[in-house]
Amino acid sequence: MDKSCLVSDTQTVPREEPFVSSYRLGAHELGRGKFAVVRKCVELASGKEYAAKFLRKRRKGEDCRSDIINEIAILEMARFSPYVVDLHEVYETNSEIILVMEYAAGGEIFEQCVADQDEGFTEKDVVRLIRQILQGVLHLHRSNVVHLDLKPQNILLTSNNPLGDIRIVDFGLSRRVDAIKEIREILGTPEYVAPEVLNYEPISTATDMWSIGVLTYIMLTGVSPFLGDTKQETFLNISQVNIQYAQEEFEGISDLAIDFIKCLLMKNPRKRMRADQCLKHPWLSSPNDCEALEETTIEEKEVEAPELSEELVLLASYTVHCPCRQLESRDSIEAELKTVRHQFNALQEIQSEVVC
């Protein structure tokens, strides 16, 4: 991997004394991955709860300390955003680096996304949370950082009841964008990656915007729009933008919400709304009027390409995990799958970074 897209300058000086001299670890794990584990802990001096992410410095025999430093640096860059998880301090041992971060007691929004209708998000909830996600992402993009793994498992809530605010987490795949050099490598999570990732094309901040479109669809309906019965079907659905806005899935959801999603799930990255443009979309621009959303209708329209300055380009990456669902017309796409399957044979399955 080209290390030029990693941020190496950090202000945090890792502490070298034993972690357990300052924190008491709880038995409960908040998340686990192949190279990391997140556990709840309590700071002895203050009694305050935190989430400690233990990251192995060597992975498959390779020194990955620079990747962890990149994650620390991006968390530092985002410290002024209220919607990005706060980094408290860092410890380092011979084998691990420990990130002590803000504890989000509400857990992943994924739980609400797959909950029964009466327990899931209302459209009013989604409007508020998507605005917060966009504000956090806008802060990252203005710092020339792309998250690259925005999904329900990486969006936490400060509380469940009442519904709290969001915290964006897990910057293990995040990269610094470059306005000149094109870097091409595969990283991400299949259901949420943009077409340009699968086509091995240079990607930009617009790639995050595609993921936000998918995220919005899931938060409103509980359905993953591109998920196929196999990885290849998922890839095909994304690359061809095979998406349905079925009436039964969007029953009771406003036309403005559907228009918002359509403005993001555009195959051409230049036609997608930017984060700042999303915040001005009618669906989000009047958050206090959410009760009237169901009565709002708009005409179908084609999104014109926004005026863009030179587009920031970046490296893409890719991780695979998720259950699959049956497509409605599996037989009808099998022939197409055979013709495109060779495009994806080089994509390796990489276990996802742990949610922190």
* Binding-site residues for ATP: 53
The packing angle between helices 231-239 and 330-340, to 10°, is 80
Name the residue type at position 50. Y
Annotated binding site: 53
Would residue 170 show up in a list of annotated catalytic residues for this protein? no
The DSSP bridge partners found for residue 313 are 178
- Angstrom distance (rounded) from CA 132 to CA 163: 13
- Angstrom distance (rounded) from CA 73 to CA 6: 9
Name the residue type at position 346. A
- Angstrom distance (rounded) from CA 320 to CA 313: 23
- Angstrom distance (rounded) from CA 173 to CA 161: 31
Catalytic-labelled residue, pool 2, 125, 149, 255: 149
Q: How many CB atoms lie within 10 A of CB 114?
A: 13
- Among candidate residues 288, 264, 10, 27, the one with its CA nearest the CA of residue 137: 264
DSSP states along 212-228: HHHHHHHHHHS--TT--
- Angstrom distance (rounded) from CA 285 to CA 352: 34
Residues classed as catalytic: 149
